[in-house]
Amino acid sequence: MLKPLLESPAHFQANLLSLNKATKAMDFGSLVHGLVLEPHLIGNEFSIYPGIADGRASEYKAFLTKHASRMVVDEPTFARARRLAEKILHRIVFGRAFGDFVNEGTPEASIYVEEPTTGLMLRTRLDLYHPEHSFDLKTTRHGTINAFIRDAVDMHYDFQAFMYTIARSLYEGRSTPAKFVFIAAETEAPNSIHQITAGQSFMSNGAKKFQEVLSVYSACMQTGFWPDSSGNAEAEIEPWQSFSGKSDWKAALGGYQLSTVH
């Protein structure tokens, strides 16, 4: 809930007052998440439509109405999520199947701690609390590790990793924190499964974001002022963003002079 503070204090307040709108990708991620970590609770959160979802069909509309308290997915989507979940559970992580870590750990573990410098009470919720590691399961559209890491920084997973690691260390009273490990699962075929441990530079970047969030939150609480991100600027671009026309296709015009269009 603190992530919007990295955009502005007003975005943080707006997020508190808004209803989160889940996307199909988010629903699919939640389904995979549940099938991997808490399969016994799937029936409490999801209803499976017996067929292919068609938003125009009266049968599907009636099913949505009947199961309004749960997320609804159709059979093909559920089958795809189960295949991905099985692949995740059998993925070898630190020399063992990830399913072994799931069996040994505590899924959806909430940790409440007091942040020492500000006194703020923080709540974290680890996907999988394991004696050896802190695991975070992510579904991703990316098939490569580098692409996932780029998205991870933009989506502030580094901030999350640092905050969760600090919370666990404070809770356990340990000076050497448990490693924070992402299990990143590609949602489309061939469904690559990545094991990505948060490294030093990743965690350091998260630490900077964490300190920024704490200082901004404390200042806004003291002043009662929650400004938005309004500002003034002159648009400039980086050298790598500069446009360079491709000339290969111009040869097909047979030497005709290109006119300048305004």
Residue-level pLDDT at 26: 83
Instruction: Using CB atoms within 10 Å of the CB of residue 16, give its burial: 0 to 12 exposed, 13 to 18 middle, 19+ buried.
Output: exposed
Task: Quote the number of domains for the chain.
Answer: 2
Question: Is 242 within the bounds of a domain?
Answer: no
Same domain, 32 and 157: no
Q: Do 165 and 222 belong to one domain? A: yes
CATH number (domain holding residue 208): 3.90.320.10
> Does some domain include residue 3?
no
Cβ-based neighbours of 54, under 8 Å, separated by 6 or more: 60
Q: Is residue 234 part of a domain?
A: no
Same domain, residue pair 85 and 102 = no
Burial class (CB in 10 A: 0-12, 13-18, 19+), 83: middle
Predicted confidence at residue 254, as pLDDT, reads 64
Q: Are 105 and 62 found together in one domain?
A: no
Residue 201 lies in a domain: yes
**pLDDT score recorded for residue 260:** 57
For residue 100, the enclosing domain spans 94-228
Asked if residue 101 and residue 84 are part of one domain, the reply reads no
Whether residue 81 is found in the same domain as residue 113: no
Q: Are residues 65 and 135 in the same domain?
A: no
Average pLDDT along the chain, 262 residues, taken 10 residues at a time: 91 82 81 96 92 91 92 93 97 98 97 90 95 97 94 96 96 93 96 97 97 93 94 92 74 62 56
